[in-house]
Structures are given as structure tokens and as C-alpha cells.
Amino acid sequence: MRIISLNYLIFSALIIMSCNSKPSQSEVKKVETILRTDHISSNDIENLNFTDYILSNDAKNAVLDWSKYQEMNIQMGFLKTGDLSFFSGDKSILKRFMSELKSGIPEAINTEVIQSRLTALETKLLKFNSVLHLENIPKTEQLKVIKEFLVATANLNLQINKKLELDANNILKPE
């Protein structure tokens, strides 16, 4: 019995002495370095060089009741802060979102040009989603795809503005 209690005491002492409650600083630094190099931050997205078009007041009024467009703008705001969760979600959800976005176009701006911009936006969105799901894509490539998506969104806004501007000017097309 003495041998068992002595062995138990030695074993307990070894366990207590071998436990290190503090991780070494080198381990922490390695983890931080990995997170910094692979994570896309809001600064990375802000440093992308592209022309971002916002909607005019007339265009804002025209899309006011277009709920999926409003939701897309909210997600774009999250994207610009570095939150990629919506865009890295399930592809079927993104396809359904784009389908609902296309089907809900207000009549005032429902033209072939706007529809083609939405198709281009869908293509860039699905490419963006695919790149986020692949682990071996470098950060520079991911940022390039994010830029393509942001440009596609800006081009959609530009076309909405142009459509409403042409309608306001009552420019007649030659027959």
C-alpha cells in the first residue's frame, strides 16, 4: 500500500510540475503572424484602387423598395469592414439571393443594361465565393477578386444612375 501511495505522490508531483499554465511567447507570436498575413482587413479593402459610384438621390428613391438591393448594400458595408461571412457562405444561398435580386428589379430601372450588370455582379459574386473557399489562394489574389466584385457593384450603381438621368432628360432615340 505504501508503494502505491508513494507512486501516486510522485506521479502527482510530476503532473503538477510539468503543467505550464502560460504559453510561451514564441508560440503566441507565431499565431499572430499567421493571422496577420492571411486575414483580409478593412485596411486591405480600403487600399484597393477603384472608382466607387454611389446612387444619386433619384436612384436612391427608385431602389428604395428593392429589398434585396438594400440587403446587398448592407452586406457591402460589412465587406468594406473586412467581414466576409456573407460572401463566404453557401453557394446555393448566394445563388438564391442573386435570383431574388434579379427578380425584384423595380420597373423604373428594369432594362437589359441593368439586367446584364446584375449578371456580371452574380458572376463576380460566385467567383468571390469560390476563391474564399479555397485555402491555397494567396491574399493578393483574394483582394483582386474582391476588387472585381466591388467594381461590378459600382458599375451597377453607375448604370442605374445613367438610366434615370437619361429618363429625366427625355432624350429621344432616333428611329
Distance of CA 29 to the CA centre of its chain: 28
Tell me how far apart the alpha carbons of residues 9 and 2 are, in angstroms, rounded to a whole number: 10
What count of Cα atoms within 13 Å lies in the side-chain half-sphere of residue 132?
22
pLDDT at 169: 85
- Is the distance from CB of 112 to CB of 11 less than 8 angstroms? no
Burial of 16 per CB tally in 10 Å (0-12, 13-18, 19+): exposed
Mean pLDDT of 121-139: 93
Residue that has been written with the C-alpha cell 444612375 in this structure: 161
76-129 residue pLDDT tens: 999 999 999 999 999 999 999 999 999 999 999 999 999 999 999 999 999 999
Which position has the higher pLDDT, 46 or 27?
A: 46
Distance of CA 141 to the CA centre of its chain: 14
Which position has the higher pLDDT, 158 or 4?
A: 158
